[in-house]
Copies of this chain bind each other. A is one copy, B any other.
């Protein structure tokens, strides 16, 4: 399976970043970007060191002028009647302050030479879309993916709330509200108020979550989420507008009076506990089995599922197709599946040749 989804992933990345003339379409290309990251880390380390030295200088200067102030305070005339104090005071406000002002502070935007190759935002979106496609094809749960459990042989790091939010955004922008909802929910579950490095707030997540919940047709939950937003920020203008809108929709629904009452009551009840997360259990509409669905189902096929009877029909053989070269050195063919036929050819290319091809394929 590993080989197949990797292929899908790269094809998807390729499709999504065609604007960049397919720069990052192979792992070899991505590995090249590691050099960028190594250089960036190196430059940032130097930058931080210099900036710390600069701040220490400023701190010392600040303590010097604070010392002036604490000595002069309340006895200014006496203090300045000593001409040495006047001299020092003038010196601090002239040469020493000029020195502090003129200490070079490099622009962080220019610390890394612009000739270094960086991925673009389109590349990032491309990888996000690829992840969603993988998730859909192999029906991986969002929490499995967010825990880095796509590849059991080589797990990735766990995703943070920020990262789940971003993947949710990618789905949202591509009108894939089902996955947008899943990932926003995951982002909310992983959200940590205490994380100062977070680039997004709880309200950002709730905003998207209520939107996609509404898009998926669950107006009551959308209303509850909007109320949760208003509990955090009572002045959130879009949330206020949405609340009115959702309420009017709920009131206008052709429910029996009793049903309507229940719905509103439960919605209010949920909304009142602002810290509670909402799970939308609605499943993605999957009742259309188009060609792509057949193909995805095929990708998920597993030999273990074959009956013993069918498995007994599978066989291996040396294949030559009457080709003169292959008669001398036939190819090892293994049948993996009967309907449709899936064949695996062993040792077609030697390991040495594979390495050679990789070297030739690596961008110079």
Contacts and interface: CB of A to CB of B under 8 A. Distances in A.
Interface of A: 2, 5-6, 9, 13, 27, 30-31, 33-34, 36-38, 40-41, 44-45, 47-48, 51-52, 55, 57-62, 65-69, 71-72, 76-97, 99-103, 105, 108-109, 118-121, 123-124, 127-128, 130-131, 134, 145, 148, 150-151, 154-157, 159, 163, 166-167, 197, 199
B57 A197 contact: yes
A31 B79 CA distance: 10
Contacts of A89: 30, 33, 37
Contacts of A65: 37, 40-41, 44
Copies of the polypeptide in the assembly: 2
B95 A124 contact: yes
Contacts of A67: 157
B157 A99 contact: no
A34 B44 CA distance: 38
Given A84-B150, A88-B163, 4 more contacts: A34-B69, A81-B154, A83-B131, A91-B166
A81 B145 contact: no
B44 A62 contact: yes
B58 A47 contact: yes
A80 B157 contact: no
B127 A87 contact: yes
A106 to B, nearest CB: 10
11 contacts: A5-B83, A30-B89, A38-B69, A40-B93, A44-B61, A44-B65, A52-B55, A81-B151, A88-B159, A91-B124, A95-B121
Contacts of A55: 48, 51-52, 55
Contacts of A130: 83, 87
Contact of A87 (B40, B51, B93, B128): B128
Contacts of A150: 82-84
A147 B66 CA distance: 20
B31 A83 contact: no
